[in-house]
Structure 1
């Protein structure tokens, strides 16, 4: 019974679309924080992991999409305040604070740092570029 009540409450949790903190988007396209604070192409999984790191209950809804960018699927529901009105994380009391904290954490996400390392080593890896094979004369 209690589990069913918990699902009902998810409807009351705040909605967090990745586009809110995407530095590749304009305010007109849906970005909600300043460009200097935004991060590049965040995913729902990264946002969810960051919320978990901040000890905030969250749920990913992959069947939903942001109305202005319906091609990018997924959003994250986050619980900021419990039923009794107390904050889940006293350091985060508003959506804006949540967006700013998550956008700080996303670039340091373990999945993101792992992705960047192989890309940089693979570009430096091939020694053929040193032989001048690519240059046309």
Structure 2
């Protein structure tokens, strides 16, 4: 290679819409609804790829062709120059999508956002109805 800059043009393209549970298959979702996650971002996907030790690069200036308002995508390198896999557990882009969709809901930035509303709803729902109810005669 020519120094530090890898040729990311050959890397796999990963749009957030591929694993978005809010999208239909016609809108671009590529994995099952049960395994998809809600509104993933490029940063979350890139962080998950880093966690899986797979090289990646975020391209913010790119848009998804079916929905050009959806900005950003992540380029991922599944194989090294010699053809071996970066992560032996991920041999295809489908496996990568499933792994990332599983990790995104546990992303540190996402778990902090979800904690705030859940604590207030837990306090509101703590009143329990009394035992027994009304007796019939």
Common topology (TM > 0.5) = yes
Q: Which moved more, 1:11-20 or 1:116-125?
A: 116-125
Indicate the structure with greater helix content.
Answer: 1
Q: Which of 49, 56, 70 is the matching residue for 2:68?
A: 70
1:74-131 CA-to-partner distances (Å, cap 9, x unmatched) read 00000100111000000000000000000000011111000111233356789xxxxx
Residues 1:13 and 2:14 are matched in the alignment: no
Tell me the equivalent position of 2:40: 42
Q: Distance in 1 between matches of 2:89 and 2:119?
A: 38
Q: Which of 94, 97, 111 is the matching residue for 2:95?
A: 97
| Structure 1 unmatched runs, 5+ | 127-137
Matched position secondary structure for 1:111? helix
| Structure 2 unmatched runs, 5+ | 125-137
Q: Distance in 2 between matches of 1:75 and 1:125?
A: 39
Q: Which has the larger radius of gyration?
A: 2
Tell me the equivalent position of 1:27: 25
TM-score (norm 2): 0.84
Residues 1:121 and 2:119 are matched in the alignment: yes
4+ residue runs over 2 A deviation? 119-126
TM-score (norm 1): 0.84
Matched position secondary structure for 2:114? helix
Q: Pairwise CA RMSD of aligned residues?
A: 1.5
